[in-house]
Structure 1
Amino acid sequence: MIHLSVWLAVLAAIFVPLERLCAIQRQTGFRRQLPLDLFLYFASGFVPALVLAAPLAALTALAQSHLPEDYCTALDRLPGPGRLTISFAVAEVGFYWGHRWSHEWPWLWRYHALHHEPERLDWLVNSRTHPIDMIFTRLCGLVPIHLLGLASAKWDRGGAIAAAVVALSTWWGFFLHANVRWRFGWLEQLVATPAFHHWHHVADTPLNRNFAATLPALDRFFGTLHLPARDWPERYGIGAPPQRDASTDEL
């Protein structure tokens, strides 16, 4: 809990001044549900790690005992940056589908909706997530890298690969939710930015877009990208119940 408190102070020191100076929408005072957001910040940082530690360790052991020896040897020869890059790409696909399913399946949406309730976005909304929602999404991203042996205990000491993937997507998420009006031109086609993710929280149409955590190319490939060159959403929150998009079901 101490390290979470330290990180909260660091994040606040970075984003609070930025949101005052570079706001998309000027905000006065604190959001009404700030106490709940702070509670969920600590819960989302602690509960998923506690719940997932044993199941993911079991998956790692299962992968080590069933994957071909030549395959494991090839993985073992990969340099650290190469293993991390492959793991990150695999996990990102899982995170994309976990997030998308959380919108399309009603029993998952009931938990994910908590994240979409705020009508004002700021950096702390990133961790405004129900623990069940967080656990499900992380499973979608981390299970593949464990089953593929990318998080093998033979060389991934201390679960560094999975921890790095989660840390990168989590900390980048604070920037994606920040109330800053910055645009990044062609870079927005390569890396998710606030403009990209703010359209995910739009209360009006188009709904159910921009599910990727960091790679917009996934939304482009699966037909869920919406990224106007200049516009920003006018309203945030839950405007209408989520519906399956028939145009993307055929992909």
Structure 2
Amino acid sequence: MPASLHDWAVSALRMGAWLVLLMAVFVPLERWFGMRGNGLPRRAWRHDLAYYVISSLVPIVVLAVPAALLAAAAQRIVPAALTSTVQGWPTPVRVALAFIVGETGFYWGHRLSHELPWLWRFHALHHSTERMHFLANTRSHPVDMVVTRLFGLVPLYLLGLATPGAAGSGTPPLILVLGTFWGFFIHADLRWRLGPLERLVTTPAFHHWHHTRHDHVDRNYAATLPILDRLFGTHYLPARWPSDYGTDTPHAPTLAGQLMGPLTPGRRPATHPPSTRAGG
């Protein structure tokens, strides 16, 4: 958590710079290569910009304490011999392993957010967008964001591959930047197909099928490595594009209602759309 006003100012400047960069890249690309004549409603833009701010601040404000506690617990649980062995490996090996372990943890956190009703009630907000575009990446409830990230972080802590904060994680800044950018890319309204590369990395086509309203919402959970979906039987990538996005789970029309609704005591968990997947 930032310890001073200066740190908050730096975080705000970084958040603003990212937004300017993202809009400079994706707004013209979506206009040239996306669905034409289907503009995003003004309220949706306002909400997505608000979620961009929320998603930028939540890791700073909310995630720091549980991450530090988990890291401290991991130091007590994990044998020192394992930690020292891992830390003795060459940096490229540790970075590659951290990337694979983190992505696998995220896959299962994401998948369980669909399969467990009490997690879906928070995650459903991310599926409420009915028009894919780059800022849809940030439309997430803070609870959903924290849970999913912890699924990716805990295995890293247990293996001694990361410590709280990007500076201590051992992950090169370039990978962090590319990972952040890729999340916006796969949500973008870009009608591109990348040929053989689609077997190696996730793409807009891959992730758009995950945002379909019914048939394939329980597929394509991976953030960057589609091989995880192949291994766990959830991969789906036909030649065509989806025609219908969104979710039947109801959401309040206001930002406050969307954030507070899943937290309302006594509210029945949102029902996940019934799965139609019959296999991998």
Tell whether the structures are fold-level matches, with TM greater than 0.5.
Answer: yes
**Alpha-carbon distance in structure 1 between the residues aligned to 2:216 and 2:183:** 21
**Alpha-carbon distance in structure 1 between the residues aligned to 2:192 and 2:68:** 40
- Secondary structure of the 1:57 match is helix
**Alpha-carbon distance in structure 1 between the residues aligned to 2:173 and 2:108:** 20
2:263 aligned with 1:233:
no
Aligned sequence identity (%): 49
Aligned to 2:268: none
Aligned to 2:28: 17
Unaligned 5+ residue runs, structure 1? none
**Alpha-carbon distance in structure 2 between the residues aligned to 1:111 and 1:165:** 28
2:190 aligned with 1:180:
yes
Deviations 1:186-213 (A, max 9, x none): 1111100000000001124233111111
Match of 2:101 among 58, 82, 90: 90
**Alpha-carbon distance in structure 2 between the residues aligned to 1:201 and 1:161:** 29
2:57 aligned with 1:46:
yes
Deviations 1:123-170 (A, max 9, x none): 0000011111100100111111011111158xx853343987765433
Aligned to 1:4: 15
Aligned to 1:148: 159
> Under a length normalisation based on structure 1, what TM-score does the superposition of the two structures give?
0.88
**Alpha-carbon distance in structure 1 between the residues aligned to 2:103 and 2:135:** 22
Unaligned 5+ residue runs, structure 2? 1-11, 250-270
Q: RMSD over aligned Cα, in angstroms? A: 2.5
Aligned residues: 247
Distance change (3 Å), C-alpha of 1:72 and 1:121:
same
Q: Which amino acid aligns with 2:244?
A: R
Q: Which amino acid aligns with 1:95?
A: F
Aligned to 1:127: 138
2:212 aligned with 1:202:
yes
> Under a length normalisation based on structure 2, what TM-score does the superposition of the two structures give?
0.80
**Alpha-carbon distance in structure 2 between the residues aligned to 1:175 and 1:162:** 20
**Alpha-carbon distance in structure 2 between the residues aligned to 1:145 and 1:244:** 33
| The 10-residue stretch of structure 1 (64-73 or 178-187) with the greater mean CA deviation from structure 2 | 64-73
**Alpha-carbon distance in structure 1 between the residues aligned to 2:167 and 2:35:** 43
Match of 2:272 among 217, 239, 242: 242
2:107 aligned with 1:77:
no
| The 10-residue stretch of structure 1 (170-179 or 21-30) with the greater mean CA deviation from structure 2 | 21-30
Distance change (3 Å), C-alpha of 1:9 and 1:157:
closer
**Alpha-carbon distance in structure 1 between the residues aligned to 2:32 and 2:276:** 41
Deviations 1:74-96 (A, max 9, x none): 22222222211111111111111
Q: Which amino acid aligns with 2:198?
A: E
| The 10-residue stretch of structure 1 (63-72 or 9-18) with the greater mean CA deviation from structure 2 | 63-72
Aligned to 2:260: none
Distance change (3 Å), C-alpha of 1:92 and 1:165:
farther
1:207-218 to 2 correspondence within 5 Å?
207-218=217-228
Deviations 1:45-95 (A, max 9, x none): 111332221222233233334433332222222222221111111111111
- Secondary structure of the 1:129 match is coil
